[in-house]
DNA sequence: ATGAAAGGTTCATCTTGTCAACTTTTCAGG
DNA sequence: CCTGAAAAGTTGACAAGATGAACCTTTCAT
């Protein structure tokens, strides 16, 4: 990539990094608030919405949900319990390994999740300040950042 | 599905926005995990760390903490209780309005908060993939996004 | 002086999250 | 075939976060 000899143009690389981190923190806070709000508007909690979102691509075993969300499996049990009680998901034993329970979104569940996703006007406000090509630049930067980091589930 | 008579230059502006939102969601998840971990390493919870971080610029009334964190004041009571019990903050009545309690970080509290901030190598990994000028671009884009949105506390 | 409004706290209640103990199922070796 | 270890989920106890209603104290405008 780019060897960094002495660098006269860049006064304090750390300064920029630090500011980016701070900005990111604010953005994260903003995003979080919006997400919780949007979920609450459908009487879902953030955690429930996250699980439901994970199931968009198909049924998943409990354990995998837990891993993707970086929490204990026993935690997922409760969340899925509540989602199931409200008809948003179903639990079904895996045919090949009966220890495994596959969690699948019901029609209602997917609908709610999709609706929430659409309603996430989070970035509409913040992103509205950026022009189309700027969004593209932002997208590429974010892509590279995430590619560099440990690939999350999603 | 998408009949877009206008817009000839940009194929699908919505497509990019959507992807940016998704990337942002992943970044938010990543950040969140790192933050909780870093806080836990100092035996603080995420919420406690957030409150402590807010106090970096000086003492704040309970109500303002609640507003900045978008939650009920009664919630802050508990968090500050626990921070106070461990000597990270103090509660002091405001001289001008004795209804108001000013929460201030103690030396230990500021130190812990500052340490946590430093240790937040969150972005080091992801940001490592970006060169200096790319970081600058990213910083500027993030700045504008946040300026466009409702200014959070910070 | 009175009463409304604001700032905090308390209490009940729920959800999230962890950890340890437990059940069921799978699977490798003997 | 049997036995026992390991894996997947669940359960129960418990702490923290979050909300909403009721409450106390202080302020402030009549």
pLDDT in tens, chain A (154 residues): 444 444 444 444 467 877 887 888 888 888 888 899 999 999 999 999 999 999 999 999 999 999 999 999 999 999 999 999 999 999 999 999 999 999 999 999 999 999 998 887 655 666 777 888 888 998 998 888 888 665 443 3
Provide the 10 A C-beta neighbour count for residue B115: 13
B75 CA vs C12 C1’ separation (Å): 14
Separation CA A40–CA A33 (nearest Å): 10
pTM of the model: 0.84
Q: What is the reported pLDDT for B121? A: 60
Contact flag B148-A137 (C-beta cutoff 8 Å): no
In angstroms, what CA-CA distances link B91 with A30, B64, B72, B98? Answer: 28, 14, 18, 12
* Residue of A120, A127, A154 for testing the chain B interface, max B β-carbons within 10 Å: A127
Span B55-83, average pLDDT: 97
The share of chain B scoring above pLDDT 70, in percent, equals 82
pLDDT tier at B122 (50, 70, 90 boundaries)?
A: low
Q: pLDDT value at position B5?
A: 44
**From the C1' of D17, which residue's alpha carbon is nearest?**
B75
All residues of chain A having their beta carbon less than 8 Å from the beta carbon of residue B125 are 148-150
Choose among A127, A139, A148: nearest Cβ to B145. Answer: A127
Angle at B37 between CA A35 and CA A117, to 5 degrees: 15
Residues in chain A closer than 8 A to B12 (CB atoms): none
* Nucleotide C22 C1' to residue A74 CA (A): 13
The stretch B35-48 carries a mean pLDDT of 94
Residue B23: list chain A partners with CB under 8 A.
139, 142-143, 146
| Closest CA of chain B from A90, distance in Å | 25
Q: What is the pLDDT of residue B127?
A: 72
DSSP state for residue B121 in the 8-state scheme: G
pLDDT at A7: 41
Distance from residue A61's CA to nucleotide C15's C1', rounded to whole Å = 22
């Amino acid at each position: 990539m780019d060897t960094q000899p002495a660098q006269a143009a860049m006064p304090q690389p750390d300064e920029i990094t630090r500011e980016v981190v701070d900005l990111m923190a604010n953005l994260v806070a903003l995003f979080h608030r919006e997400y919780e709000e949007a979920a609450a508007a459908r009487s879902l909690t953030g955690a429930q919405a996250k699980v439901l979102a994970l199931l968009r691509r198909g049924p998943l075993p409990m354990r995998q949900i837990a891993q993707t969300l970086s929490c204990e499996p026993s935690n997922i049990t409760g969340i899925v319990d509540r989602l199931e009680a409200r008809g948003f998901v179903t639990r079904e034993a895996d045919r090949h390994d009966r220890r495994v329970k596959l969690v699948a979104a019901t029609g209602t569940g997917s609908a709610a999740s999709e609706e929430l996703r659409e309603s996430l006007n989070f970035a509409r406000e913040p992103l509205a300040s950026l022009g189309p090509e700027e969004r593209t630049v932002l997208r590429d930067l974010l892509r590279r950042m995430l590619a560099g980091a440990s690939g999350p589930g999603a």
